[in-house]
Amino acid sequence: MIELEHLTKEFRTPKKHEGLGGAFKTLFSREYTVKRAVDDLSLSIAGGESIGFIGVNGAGKSTTIKMMTGILHPTSGQCRVFGAEAHKNRQKNAQNIGVVFGQRTQLWWDLPVSESLGILRRLYQVPQARFDENLAWFKKILELDEFYLTPVRNLSLGQRMRADFAASLLHDPKILFLDEPTIGLDLVVKERLREAIKDVNKNRGTTIFLTTHDLGDIEQICGRIIVIDDGKQAFDGSQNDLRDRYGRIRRISFDLGRPGGAPLTGLPEGVTAEETPDRLVLRFPREGIRSGDLIARVVQEREVKDLAIEDPDIADIVKEIYQHS
């Protein structure tokens, strides 16, 4: 459904100089600074996948999405959506995709939500019967009724995001691009949007391409994770693949019945221990050391009330990738 081959995007900006003289020099200078936002990116996405596309600010996420939607032209390489170059078939491409940008709305500011959706229905030539079916689903899963007749300018952020999400799905797109869709939302609205995205992916077969800094979105929604760093692909695989590759350190937390005495003895090499009067935490590599052996060692020397074995979560792993990239 989406094919990127050696995709590259560069931005040229005039080189600036300080002071008044520098301003004149900049005005007439032909010197440019080149920033490569996307660097030789290649990937393939099949229909029905749910992709988490993550990276630090400036990594190239939004630039990649804008090339997939046809808004930006690649400097080199190819970006094919449904077998055609996205920027050369922008109008046709728009019929098959939905887009939600967390900081921008596609609704008309002074019109009620109902009127905005009605205009979009005519723009996308959605049959009235299908529009009514989709609207009933939106009202059920997104609870649009509470603000359906309210002008967009009077909506809260959470209400506007729900309305934008409905607008992006009005024409039954095959691909849904989501750029920070839950930014700034409270927990209730955020959970409602997550459930709606999962429902669209599971029951309608819509391909989801999600960029976000909220890694809770990634864990709940995405089956595949692509990490981009400085415009280049740093990782592509499942959540389990990510944990296996980068989440090598596991943790066992013990709640102690009473303070321990002397330091623990007999711990294998590579195991670290942090102990307070009522808690002990062991960190150890996933490979080569069995958690059962460590638990048996601790029980011999400490009074244990409870314990928990924890794998690293996605947030910790991605933070580790960012810090070492």
Per-residue model confidence (pLDDT) at position 56: 79
Tell me how far apart the alpha carbons of residues 187 and 199 are, in angstroms, rounded to a whole number.
Answer: 18
pLDDT(267) > 70: yes
CB atoms within 10 A of CB 272: 11
What pLDDT is stored for residue 29 in this prediction? 67
pLDDT(5) > 60: yes
The residues, ordered by sequence, that sit 6+ positions from 117 with a Cβ below 8 Å of its Cβ are 131, 135, 163, 166, 167, 170
Residue 1: name the closest of 125, 173, 130 by CA: 173
This prediction's pTM: 0.77
> 84-85 and 76-81 as β-strands: parallel, antiparallel, unpaired?
antiparallel
How far is the C-alpha of 275 from the C-alpha of 256, rounded, in Å? 10
Return the pLDDT at 68: 92
325 pLDDT exceeds 60? no
What is the distance between the alpha carbons of residues 196 and 220, in angstroms, rounded to a whole number? Answer: 12
B/e letters for 68-79, b = 16+ CB within 10 Å, e = fewer, are bbbebebbebeb
Percent of the chain with pLDDT over 90: 31
Q: What is the pLDDT of residues 75-129, one digit of tens each?
A: 999 999 988 898 888 888 888 899 988 778 889 999 999 999 999 999 999 999 9
Place of tokens 């990594």: 59
Look at residues 235, 209, 224, 229 and name the one whose alpha carbon lies nearest to residue 68. 209
**Averaged pLDDT, 274-292:** 86
The DSSP H or E segment spanning 33 is strand 32-45
As a whole number of angstroms, the distance between CA 152 and CA 159 comes to 9
Q: Which of 60-74, 146-160, 217-231, 253-267 has the lowest mean pLDDT?
A: 253-267
When pLDDT is cut at 50, 70 and 90, the band that residue 58 belongs to is confident
Who contacts 51 (Cβ-Cβ below 8 Å, separation ≥6)? 45, 207, 208, 209, 210, 222, 224, 225, 226
- Determine what percent of the chain is predicted with pLDDT higher than 70: 94
Q: Tell me what the pLDDT averaged over the chain comes to.
A: 86
Residue-wise pLDDT tens digits, 307-317: 998 877 676 77
Backbone dihedral angles phi then psi of residue 71, each to the nearest 5 degrees: -70, -40
